[in-house]
Amino acid sequence: MVVSSERSNHTRVHGGAGSEGAGQRHPRAPLHGRKQDVSSKIDPHSATIEKFVENVRKLYNDGTGDFKAKFDAAIKGVQPRPQGTEDKVWKDWQGASIDTLCNFFEEWYAWGLKQGVHDGLDYIEKFSWINYENDAGMDFVTTGAGRDVLADFTNLQGLQMDDPESGKSLVDSWIKELGPKKMADFRKGDWSTFNKFFIRELAPGARPIDGRLDPGVVVAPTDCVINMIVDELTDATRIPVKTVTMNVDQLLNGSRYAKHFTHDREGKPGGGTAVSCILMPDTYHRYHAPVGGQVVEAHDNIGGVYYGMRDFPGLVNKGNVGYGYDYGMFADFRRGYVVIRTPYVDHEGKPDGDGYVALVPVGLNSIGSVQFLEKFRNITKNSAPVEIEKGEEIGCFQYGGSLNILLFEKGRFPALQLLMGQRIGVLEEPKRAKRLFENFRRPEPRRVPPTS
């Protein structure tokens, strides 16, 4: 999987519809948006894979921190291979040593410059068997030195994809694999590195904005699969049968606007709608405003973990690209959010007051950050609201196998609604459909993922 580096955490990505300018590099932000654990004693930014592996071995062998104890406990808790798991994505961690871990990281790093369009999740899934249905494994990857090691490796992968060697190794093969039909949607640009190629801009007219002047029309924020609609949100909504949770206050990092989506206008619990928009690895990776209005609050660098899905295969292989997964845990991953004050209209098209829509980009495994354009970075109650047009670019992931979550107020977005002749999907190639959408290697979890 191709990633953005921590060094790129505040890279300004300029371009796209209606914008100009060159990207600017800014200093690296602290890991996870907070101070590093003192006990880890690791350089937070290894410059080479050799230095990274040296650091990992030191952490394990010096015995002064929590790395050895947590790694050994994680390995003791590794579960057997679930029935139906493909060889390609299986890694047996039972009885693994520190040599096993270091060799795996070296192999994963070397594979980075060889991966194909549909291979991005393979090594992540191989690694995820350490914490699959494993409490000690979850502790290892989400806390202490284990978390910091994974942050360092994520940064190292990002540096690899910022290197011109990544452009030479991957860009031409990805263009060929994607094919002329898909590539026709994109404007040729500076693709000297793979990260630059991955956030390629759309060609003019490739994504016309529907209902541009109609405030009642909501548009997709990016190329995505809509795989969840949750209505009547509360602070910890549980959906019958599918056991989905959604803690809006956590997703919005305690924003003063969270109650607009979990309560009605009278302040009673039971609020709005959440829509999950999953980005696919081989599509467009910038995200845009679903409605127009004013951005009244925004935050682009909420710290969190990089790994730690108790059942990662369940996200990517649960029949419909994560439908029904425990979305409450996304509040623990790196993310940003934008709250837009937008005008409402009634059935006659007359003004019906103002309300709020939120967009929450979430960076999952191997994604070091979300990246907003300068215009939309860190807008607070002390800032003036920033005007935004429907369809205007907000930011990007430098690896887009992630998701955007849209939040709406009570009664304002009850369902997906289409007009005759509008696109509802595509007829897929069976190979791609099997790889991304079908339940072809889905193991059933033995325990329900934690909801908090």
Report how far residue 144's alpha carbon sits from residue 121's, in angstroms, rounded to the nearest whole number: 25
pLDDT at residue number 89: 87
DSSP 274: E
Q: What is the mean pLDDT of residues 61-69?
A: 90
Report how far residue 199's alpha carbon sits from residue 287's, in angstroms, rounded to the nearest whole number: 10
Three-class SS state of 28 = coil
Report how far residue 235's alpha carbon sits from residue 245's, in angstroms, rounded to the nearest whole number: 9
Residue 67: pLDDT over 50: yes
- Of the candidates 150, 204, 177, the one whose C-alpha atom is nearest the C-alpha of residue 368 is 150
Task: Please state which of the ranges 36-45, 180-189, 426-435 shows the lowest mean pLDDT.
Answer: 36-45
Two tokens, residue 225: 């699969």
Residue 116: pLDDT over 90: no
Two tokens, residue 86: 């493909």
pLDDT confidence bin for 307, thresholds 50/70/90: low
The structure's pTM equals 0.80
Burial class (CB in 10 A: 0-12, 13-18, 19+), 22: exposed
| Highest mean pLDDT: which range of 2-6, 26-30, 253-257 | 253-257
- Of the candidates 292, 116, 305, 266, the one whose C-alpha atom is nearest the C-alpha of residue 211 is 292
- Of the candidates 209, 218, 205, the one whose C-alpha atom is nearest the C-alpha of residue 391 is 209
- What is the overall mean pLDDT for the chain? 78
For 270-288, how does the pLDDT look when each residue is reduced to its tens digit (9 = 90+)? Answer: 888 988 888 887 889 999 9
For 417-452, how does the pLDDT look when each residue is reduced to its tens digit (9 = 90+)? Answer: 999 999 988 898 887 777 666 543 333 333 333 333
55 phi and psi angles, rounded to 5 deg: -65, -40
pLDDT at residue number 102: 98
Two tokens, residue 122: 């393979």
* Selected residue with higher pLDDT from 205 and 236: 205
Report how far residue 275's alpha carbon sits from residue 359's, in angstroms, rounded to the nearest whole number: 10
Residue 245: pLDDT over 50: yes
Two tokens, residue 33: 């948006």
pLDDT confidence bin for 318, thresholds 50/70/90: very low
pLDDT at residue number 354: 96
